[in-house]
Amino acid sequence: MRQKIVAGNWKMNGSLVDNEALLKGVVDGTAGLKGVVCCSPYPYLFQMQKALSGTHVAWGAQNLSQYDKGAYTGEVSASMLNDFGCSYVIIGHSERRAIFGETSVMVAEKFKAAKDAGLIPILCLGETLAERESGATFAVVGEQLEAVTGFVGVEALEDAVLAYEPVWAIGTGRTATPEQAQEVHRHLRERIAHLSAEVAGHVRILYGGSVKASNAAELFAMPDIDGGLIGGASLISGDFCEICRAAA
Ligand code: 13P
């Protein structure tokens, strides 16, 4: 059995005051659960470390530099994330690919930087609406996946996490149906199985895109959906905790 994970991606939201209440709500409201993760903006990692150390809730960042250190103004390295106790880091979110020009090569390099530092990458994959409507979904997510496995080898996925996030479902309120999501999750697992059946059996594949307390349970009930990557609903502790309970 794969342990399900529910990870909150706060995106560029939060404040010291709001986060304090949110983190307390998540710790209290998910007591006894496993696989609960919160990913904050960089400036709040110290606050996460203080609030979550010694609790059952893990934390992480939403991006990292592919470089170790040096003259890279504005960037944050994997070892800095280690300093703040991060276990996880989101890699290749569609917002980073579309708005900040991250290429598949950069995503693969960032994935490697995370793994080399002992962080668990949450690698995001997903097609746009136009790609889905033209029947290119499997080709698009397959290329995104193979850009990484081609660079680091399939074994690097063994204890990594994938997140299938159809771009048309992110922040739109339009969730993929459990069947639509399952179809892509199964396809990803089959692609990985061609390289290593063992890795395919272990890798967690989360679904992301308008997951809410009201639709989480039916998504998480699908055989290849191992939890969720949650945007908007991760900012409301009651909603996020309910989604975490749906994965238990
Ligand atoms: P929403 O849950 O707000 O649709 O965001 C999903 C997402 O992008 C998580 O990374």
The pLDDT tens digits of the residues spanning 17-59 come to: 999 999 999 999 999 999 999 999 999 999 999 999 999 999 9
Q: Provide the mean pLDDT of the chain.
A: 97
Name the residue at shortest CA distance from atom 5 of ligand 1.
Answer: 231
Does the Cβ of 201 fall within 6 Å of ligand 1? no
For the Cβ of 209 lying below 6 angstroms from any atom of ligand 1, the answer is yes
Integer CA distances (angstroms), 62 to 1, 58, 121, 243, in order? 27, 14, 10, 20
Mean pLDDT of 222-235: 98
Residue 239 pLDDT level (bands cut at 50, 70, 90): very high
Q: Could you give phi then psi for residue 88, rounded to 5 degrees?
A: -120, 160
Q: DSSP characters for 71-140?
A: S-TT---HHHHHHTT--EEEES-HHHHHHS---HHHHHHHHHHHHHTT-EEEEEE---HHHHHTT-HHHH
Among 5, 11, 96, 219, which is best to mutate for testing ligand 1, by the most ligand atoms less than 8 A from CB? 11
> Would you say the CB of residue 239 lies under 6 angstroms from ligand 1?
no
Q: Which atom of ligand 1 is nearest to the CA of 171?
A: 4
pLDDT at residue 70 greater than cutoff 90: yes
Q: Which residues contact 92 (CB under 8 A, 6 or more apart)?
A: 102, 107, 110, 111, 123, 124, 125, 144
List CB contacts of 223: < 8 A, sequence separation 6 or more: 182, 186
Q: Where are the domains of the chain?
A: 5-247
- Tell me whether residue 179 is one of the annotated catalytic residues: no
**pLDDT at position 67 over 90:** yes
Give residue 185 CA to ligand 1 midpoint distance, Å: 17
What SS3 state is found at 48? helix
pLDDT at 177: 96
Please name which of 99, 80, 89 lies closest in space to residue 171, comparing C-alpha atoms.
Answer: 99
> What 3-state class would DSSP assign to 27?
helix
At 1, the pLDDT band (50, 70, 90 cuts) reads confident
Q: Is the pLDDT of residue 182 over 90?
A: yes
Place of tokens 């530092």: 117
Q: Any idea which of 2-11, 171-180, 224-233 has the lowest mean pLDDT? A: 171-180
Domain 5-247 in CATH 3.20.20.70? The answer is: yes
Is pTM beyond 0.75 here?
yes
Q: How far apart are CA 78 and CA 61, in angstroms?
A: 10
pLDDT in tens, 141-161: 999 999 999 999 999 999 999
Tens digits of per-residue pLDDT, 94-138?
A: 999 999 999 999 999 999 999 999 999 999 999 999 999 999 999
Overall average pLDDT of the 69-74 stretch: 98
Q: What is the pLDDT of residue 230?
A: 98
